[in-house]
């Protein structure tokens, strides 16, 4: 539990992504994982409670404006929505494909050309680790039956 909580915390504390890119990927992953709590989570609003009241300073919340509810509502329709920048759409696409078709994603040179035109290698690694945390920890929570609470809260309760 502590390792999962530390991984989750690291993702939020060390992201180079804009908050909108980060939240787009996170929200799409929450939809794919089917986690109702994660689907209603908003980093700008809820992140402070994850870190034992330390607030959000120095986290991804500092990386630009927060998405509005229209943004979250459109994440499923990222292909056709006009709400997303090219980088935001690529981040959402990455999260979707990472969660549903990782082998195809890895081999899609056209996608990687588009991705590398928009993101640095460090940003791509950041996005990959973020999505890995959300996919993996969300599925661990579901398989172990504690997906009714977020992992960091469950980790604190287990201590």
Residues 94-117 have pLDDT tens digits of 999 999 999 999 999 999 999 999
Q: For residue 32, give the nearest of 79, 91, 83, 98 by alpha carbon.
A: 98
User: 69: burial class by Cβ within 10 Å (0-12, 13-18, 19+)?
Assistant: exposed
Q: What is the pLDDT along the chain (159 residues), one digit of tens a residue?
A: 778 778 888 888 889 999 999 999 999 999 998 887 888 889 888 887 676 556 667 688 888 899 999 999 999 999 999 999 999 999 999 999 999 999 999 999 999 999 999 999 999 999 999 999 999 888 887 787 776 655 444 444 344
Tokens 């509005």 sit on residue: 68
CA dihedral 125, 127, 130, 133 (to 10 degrees): -70
d(CA 107, CA 103): 6
Global pTM reads 0.87
SS3 at position 87: helix
Distances (CA, A) of 155 to 3, 9, 34, 48, 141: 9, 12, 20, 16, 11
- What would be the CATH architecture of the domain defined by 2-158? Up-down Bundle (1.20)
d(CA 32, CA 44): 21
């Amino acid at each position: 539990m502590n390792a999962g909580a530390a991984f989750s915390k690291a993702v939020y504390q060390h992201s180079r992504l804009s908050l909108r890119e980060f939240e787009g990927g996170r929200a799409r992953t929450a939809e794919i994982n089917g986690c109702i709590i994660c689907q209603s989570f908003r980093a700008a609003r809820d992140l402070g409670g994850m870190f034992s009241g330390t607030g959000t300073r120095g986290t991804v919340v500092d990386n630009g404006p927060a998405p509005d509810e229209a943004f979250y509502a459109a994440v499923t329709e990222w292909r056709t929505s006009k709400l997303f920048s090219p980088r935001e759409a690529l981040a959402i696409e990455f999260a979707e494909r990472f969660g549903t078709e990782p082998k195809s994603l890895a081999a899609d040179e056209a996608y990687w050309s588009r991705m590398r035109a928009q993101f640095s290698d460090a940003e791509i690694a950041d996005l990959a680790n973020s999505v890995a945390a959300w996919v993996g920890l969300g599925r661990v929570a579901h398989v172990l039956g504690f997906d009714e609470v977020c992992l960091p809260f469950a980790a604190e309760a287990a201590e």
